[in-house]
């Protein structure tokens, strides 16, 4: 893959996002997209979920008024990276926003790389959320334990010193690490996703059939 679209995150800073913010004003034609209460309350329309007038209602987005709003290209994929399923609302909000604002017009495939496996019900929820687009939750590679096992003793000692890991303790993705001369500490999972996005993603077999 020489060109892959990286979706680092989807967020609107400083204000809540409503479905009405994403839709054209006074759209013509019938509607063709309905997002359920649980999806939109957790995602793009979370700010209004407690208002009595909105309880139990579906959020409806207008159909495109013509076929020329967005041009669809071949071999395009939307890609992002998560550590696990521990904070799914962040990913759900991102997928809701990108579907409402763009992907419902083109239905590009979505690949979510994950460091730790997702439960089946979590994968099925995301599949229903982005449909009719396809989404794949891809386990990016060997587990942390397998990667540590493959390291030399010198490499392990270097990593454990940076993180730091006490004698007899197992390293986890949630150990906070730094480098000599730096005062900033980041957890290992965050540091790994930065490396994965910058390097490993470009040769991952899950993207071999995509061009952009």
pLDDT per residue over 72-109, tens digit each? 999 999 999 998 888 788 899 999 999 999 999 999 99
Residue of higher predicted confidence among 128 and 13: 128
Band of the pLDDT at 68, cuts 50, 70, 90? Answer: low
In order of 12, 50, 140, the CA distances from 206 in angstroms are 29, 40, 9
Look up the pTM and report it: 0.65
Predicted pLDDT at 182: 81
For residue 152, is pLDDT > 90?
yes
* Tokens at 125, concatenated: 């929820």
Percent of the chain with pLDDT over 90: 38
Predicted pLDDT at 191: 87
Rounded Cα gap, residues 30 and 177, in angstroms: 53
For residue 29, is pLDDT > 50?
no
Taking the alpha carbons of 94, 98, 103, 109 in that order, is the dihedral positive or negative?
negative
Chain mean position to CA 44:
14
């Amino acid at each position: 893959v020489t060109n892959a679209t990286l979706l680092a995150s989807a967020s609107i800073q400083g204000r809540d996002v409503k479905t009405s913010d994403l839709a054209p004003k006074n759209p013509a034609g019938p509607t063709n997209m309905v997002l359920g209460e649980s999806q939109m309350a957790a995602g793009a329309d979370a700010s209004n979920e407690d208002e009595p007038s909105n309880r139990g209602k579906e959020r409806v987005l207008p159909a495109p008024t013509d076929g020329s709003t967005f041009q669809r290209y071949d071999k395009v994929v939307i890609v992002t990276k998560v550590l696990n399923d521990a904070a799914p609302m962040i990913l759900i909000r991102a997928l809701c926003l990108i579907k409402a604002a763009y992907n419902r017009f083109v239905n590009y495939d979505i690949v979510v790389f994950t460091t730790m496996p997702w439960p089946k019900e979590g994968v099925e929820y995301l599949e229903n959320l982005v449909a009719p687009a396809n989404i794949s939750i891809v386990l990016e590679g060997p587990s942390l334990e397998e990667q540590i096992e493959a390291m030399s003793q010198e490499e392990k000692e270097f990593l454990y010193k940076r993180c730091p890991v006490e004698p007899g303790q197992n390293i986890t993705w949630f150990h906070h690490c730094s480098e000599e001369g730096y005062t900033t500490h980041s957890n290992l999972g965050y540091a790994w996703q930065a490396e994965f996005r910058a390097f490993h993603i470009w040769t991952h077999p899950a993207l071999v059939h995509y061009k952009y």
